[in-house]
Structure 1
Amino acid sequence: MAILDLAMPQLSGSEAAQEITRVSPNTRAILLTMYSEEPYVAKALQVGITGYVLKTQSSADLLQAISDVMAGGIYLSPGISQAIVNAYLARHELSSHPLTVREREVLRLVAEGKTTREVAQDLGISTKTAESHRMRIMAKLDIHATAGLVRYAIRQGLIRP
């Protein structure tokens, strides 16, 4: 078990944890820090930190972190957990819905195998507009084939396989 500070003179706690994990993979590391911002926490977790405790927490919280980490779990201070969840949800919300409602409608119809003409008829728009939507969808998603659009639509729950 190693308890590290994020701001150490020679190496940061994250760098030290990365080195400890490389040299001794079974050693668990807890970071004791004053930094509660999501980028610090994310970096720490990426390099193998299994406990992230704020210096403002009580000694009982540190003991709980040690207990949880030694039992094979991960411990995040309560405020950190909320910050991570909020950051994840904000990113997930933005990344999971890059398309407008109309573009999702067009995507669903295309993924169901409809031609551009059929999409236009179903939505009451011109064929040219339907094709325009399709091209914008492909550009936004960086997908260049109908099969890719179908896979994306399935993953997004727009259609069933």
Structure 2
Amino acid sequence: MLTPLTMIVAAETSRAHEIRQRPGRRRWLWRDPTDHRPHLVKGNVSEAGVVAKLFSAGASATERRSLRVVLADDHVVVRQGLKGLLEREGFAVVGEASNGVEAVRLTRHFRPEVAILDFDMPLMNGIDAVTEIVRHSPGTRTILLTADTGHQRLPEALRAGSRGFVLKNHGVAHLIRAIREVTRGGVYVSPSVSTTVAPASLAKTDFPLDRLTRRERQVLQLIAEGKKTKEIAALLGVKIKTAETHRTRIMRRVNIHETANLVRYAIRGGLTRL
């Protein structure tokens, strides 16, 4: 039968970790009160060593369990798969969104530690959603997911305020690393991207969409998604005349006066996909 050895309370996390020892044996078992699961450690380890080692591991695990995440992807299968994987790692997925507008709304409501956003989403793309989240929920760290391996989106993502940039084909392990890194205040970029993108490319450059305001970018994305002026006005909560004014200004700013060419322009700028 296991007998109590010691109880340690972490002042900085206010969490307790109970460590027990089998009588007469150098085998240690510790139990984290937040999940009540025992963890057995084998080997000839001193009391001080096992205390330090297990306390450190326990603090990391409980920290992970308390982390709240908003997850946004317009593909239900992808979203549900990611949610299951994140929850198995102990993260709490407090909100799910299928478009950028909903992602911003949920983030403003829940104020999570992390928001994970697909780059290509309807109504509002990942870049503009990041910009809105940074404005309205500055304590939330954002991570962008993309299937595009061209890497040309990274500079714009970082300028918008994203703290993580993860390629979908790299697997969930990279996403977990990204979450850990950004919650520590760092920046995470998938290794294949960070080694192929020259540092100079992260400097400010004249992107085609830089000449548009945030609202104009959103209107342009909706035009590219096939929305009519009346639908755009309803989605943005503005008058039809206001939506028409935005459309006219966009055409004037980019010197494009046909809808088909506007759509191509939006795709080229990464606002939407084919």
TM-score by length of 1: 0.52
CA contact (8 A) 1:37 1:83 kept: no
Q: After TM superposition, give the deviation of residue 44 of structure 1 in Å.
A: 0.3
Counterpart of 1:88, as a letter, is A
Q: Secondary structure at the match of 2:195?
A: helix
Q: After TM superposition, give the deviation of residue 25 of structure 1 in Å.
A: 1.2
Distance in 1 separating the partners of 2:120 and 2:160 = 15
Identity among equivalent pairs (%): 42
Q: Name which of 66, 71, 79 aligns with 2:192.
A: 79
* Shift >4 Å, 4+ stretches: none
Distance in 1 separating the partners of 2:136 and 2:149 = 27
CA contact (8 A) 1:2 1:27 kept: yes
Paired positions, count: 89
Distance in 2 separating the partners of 1:58 and 1:38 = 17
Q: After TM superposition, give the deviation of residue 69 of structure 1 in Å.
A: 0.6
Structure 1 residues 2-151: aligned runs within 5 Å: 2-85=115-198, 88=200
More strand by share: 2
Distance in 1 separating the partners of 2:150 and 2:141 = 22
Structure possessing the higher relative contact order (Cα contacts under 8 Å, 6 or more residues apart): 1
Cα deviation code 1:96-140 (max 9, x no counterpart): xxxxxxxxxxxxxxxxxxxxxxxxxxxxxxxxxxxxxxxxxxxxx
Q: After TM superposition, give the deviation of residue 76 of structure 1 in Å.
A: 0.2
Counterpart of 1:51, as a letter, is G
Q: After TM superposition, give the deviation of residue 39 of structure 1 in Å.
A: 2.8
Distance in 2 separating the partners of 1:84 and 1:72 = 22
Distance in 2 separating the partners of 1:62 and 1:25 = 21
More helix by share: 1
Cα deviation code 1:2-39 (max 9, x no counterpart): 00000001111000000000111111100011123343
Unaligned residue ranges in structure 2 (runs of 5+): 1-113, 204-274
Distance in 1 separating the partners of 2:180 and 2:136 = 23
Q: Secondary structure at the match of 1:2?
A: strand
